[in-house]
């Protein structure tokens, strides 16, 4: 086959020198499928501790002069980024906003080997970079034969997980400060314990959460 396969490394903002994930990506792979394969605990949802409400995600990939967005919130965030870039005095190129849903890697001509590209979500509160490390011809003897196998995960850095310090049964998702049961020290909570102990059914802070002016942040496993 004359089709092309890309090797892509993904980096976490906490360690920009060591790849967190590495993929084989076929040139016909959709950018949206690549986005969905990127691992981050912050992707599903985050908690806004000050307001005590759940915040919906947004996702944008920046390649060349184009902001590729996912969904209406991604489009909103991409417009904000585009306006910010346009206001920079040193920036002369025009930026483009593109829905990534039907965009394949074959359709993106601005890739350069080793160049860092941006994947940003949660309205900029979490950012990752990725690089195209190599290009090679597709060969079924050493690559997945089925297109739905791409993006194909070659490597993912293992996580050192810590359990919720309330139930001690499942992995922690949040670091919570200011609750009346934490004795001044932050406690790690799973999603279930946060919702059960600190929130009402309408997703607002309950009396226990308000009592200590609780602050809640995503917990990232090492």
Alpha carbons 109 and 218: distance in angstroms, whole number = 36
pLDDT tens, 26-70? 999 999 999 999 987 666 444 443 333 334 478 999 998 899 999
CA angle, 188 as apex, 182 and 191 as ends, to 5°?
Answer: 115
Query: Which tens digit of pLDDT belongs to each residue from 85-111?
Result: 888 766 667 789 999 999 999 999 889
Nearest CA to 209 out of 192, 196, 191 is that of: 196
- 115 pLDDT above the threshold of 80: yes
**CA geometry: angle 139, 150, 111, nearest 5 deg:** 85
């Amino acid at each position: 086959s004359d089709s092309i396969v890309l090797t892509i490394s993904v980096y976490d903002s906490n360690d920009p020198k060591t790849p967190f994930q590495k993929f084989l990506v076929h040139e016909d792979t959709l950018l949206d499928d690549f986005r969905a394969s990127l691992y981050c605990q912050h992707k599903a949802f985050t908690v806004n501790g000050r307001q005590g409400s759940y915040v919906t995600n947004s996702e944008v990939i920046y390649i060349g002069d184009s902001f590729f967005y996912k969904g209406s919130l991604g489009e909103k965030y991409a417009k904000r980024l585009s306006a910010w870039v346009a206001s920079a005095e040193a920036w002369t190129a025009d930026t483009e906003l593109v829905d990534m849903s039907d965009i394949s890697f074959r359709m993106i001509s601005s890739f350069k080997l080793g160049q860092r590209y941006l994947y940003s979500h949660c309205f900029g509160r979490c950012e990752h970079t990725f690089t195209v490390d190599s290009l090679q011809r597709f060969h079924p003897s050493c690559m997945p034969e089925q297109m739905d196998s791409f993006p194909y995960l070659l490597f993912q850095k293992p996580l050192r997980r810590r359990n919720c310090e309330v139930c001690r049964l499942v992995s922690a998702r949040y670091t919570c400060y200011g609750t009346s049961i934490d004795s001044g020290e932050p406690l790690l909570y799973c999603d279930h314990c946060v919702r059960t102990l600190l929130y009402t059914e309408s997703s607002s802070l309950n009396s226990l959460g308000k009592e200590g002016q609780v602050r809640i942040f995503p917990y990232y496993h090492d």
